[in-house]
Amino acid sequence: MRILIIGTGVIGSTYAWQLSNAGYDVTVLVKEEAVDFFRKDGIQIEFVDKRYKKRITGKLIFRPALITIKEMTGEFDFILIPVQRQQIGKILVDIGDKVSKSTIVIFQNNWKCSEEIDELLSNKQYVYAFPHMVGGSRDGKTVKTIIFNEGNTRIGEKNNACIYSERINKLFEILERSGMRPKITENIEHWLITHYIQQSSGIGIFLKYGSPLNVVKSYKRLGELIEVGREGLQVCEKRGINARKISPIKFLYYPKWLIVLVLKMMFKDEDEKSMLGGHMKNGLEEMIVGYEEVLSEGKQRGLAMKKWESYHEFVKEAKKHIGYQQ
């Protein structure tokens, strides 16, 4: 079983490492300008592994087979693409004529899903996945990853077609053997779209108060975060998605006082706080893209989006700071 993983970010490095440990033939695609470094020094990983009812930590140098796009030859059984939301289009264009027989795993948050992907791939060529048990950050050349005991690797077919298809069953087997807890998910596009709200709703309030940690330590600010998330879910409802039936996002419909208490308990965990801070540090551009996509569609569908709109100036300033242009 030959598997190609795109990129050396937290998710790509973690899954490449775990699949390789399970005995699979794993290759990692890296940028042309970075390949010499990784071939010399490997992928440096600092990890926290909480899967086995205890917290295991360590450091290692992972040395997978590496290729660049120019070096891609032959076919892979699966190609995992765990890139940020705004990067998926370019990646698919770059590899498109080299992977005609491979199953491509779109391994990311995505607001548009098949509406966008079908313009670049045959709908028979790809499936979806999401790493709902891994988080972390990159510090220079070091990947800092946390593998949580909660959550799963969500996997599923587009439009709920043939839920237990042969390729989904194969992907399930690979992930299960690697300890990455696959969960075959019905209506996975709806799951991904509602989860997109979970990611995108936080950026405005985090920027407003200076950091995610400044939000999670305050009962009042957590309440504000919940209200923003609920407003985002109204956009999903306009798209015909019943988020009240989708876990874990249905949690946002519970009484606000109860959600705040649960979030306060959750963020007593230093690893949860570290994951949130890492995503803000390394995923700021992706979060901004998500904020703008949801806000724009909400307005197009006739929603006022007053809460989302109230953070516009903070997001605008952050875009200027990082030099981001859509």
Q: What percent of the chain has pLDDT over 90?
A: 84
What would the pLDDT profile of 84-94 be if each residue is shown by its tens digit? 999 999 999 98
Average pLDDT, the chain: 94
pLDDT category of residue 325 using cuts at 50, 70 and 90: low
Mapped onto helix, strand or coil, the DSSP state of residue 168 is helix
CATH class of 2-186: alpha beta
Query: Alpha-carbon Rg of the chain, whole angstroms?
Result: 19
The pLDDT tens digits for 213-238 are 999 999 999 999 999 999 999 999 99
Q: 160 pLDDT exceeds 80?
A: no
Helix axes 284-300, 188-200, angle to 10 degrees: 110
Task: Describe the strand order of the beta sheet including 43-49 as a list of residue ranges.
Answer: 56-62, 43-49, 142-147, 134-139
Instruction: Name the packing angle between helices 202-209 and 312-322 (round to 10°).
Output: 80
Contact status, residue 151 vs residue 132, Cβ threshold 8 Å: yes
Q: Which residues pair with 130 in a beta bridge?
A: 154
**Residue range 66-110, pLDDT digits in tens:** 999 999 887 899 999 999 999 999 999 988 777 778 999 999 989
- Phi and psi dihedrals of 93, rounded to 5? -65, -45
CA atoms within 13 A on the CB side of 318: 25
**The pLDDT of residue 279 is above 70:** yes
Q: How far, in Å, CA of 1 to CA of 78, rounded?
A: 8
Confidence of residue 298 (pLDDT cuts 50, 70, 90): very high
Give the dihedral of Cα atoms 98, 101, 105, 110; nearest 10 deg: 70
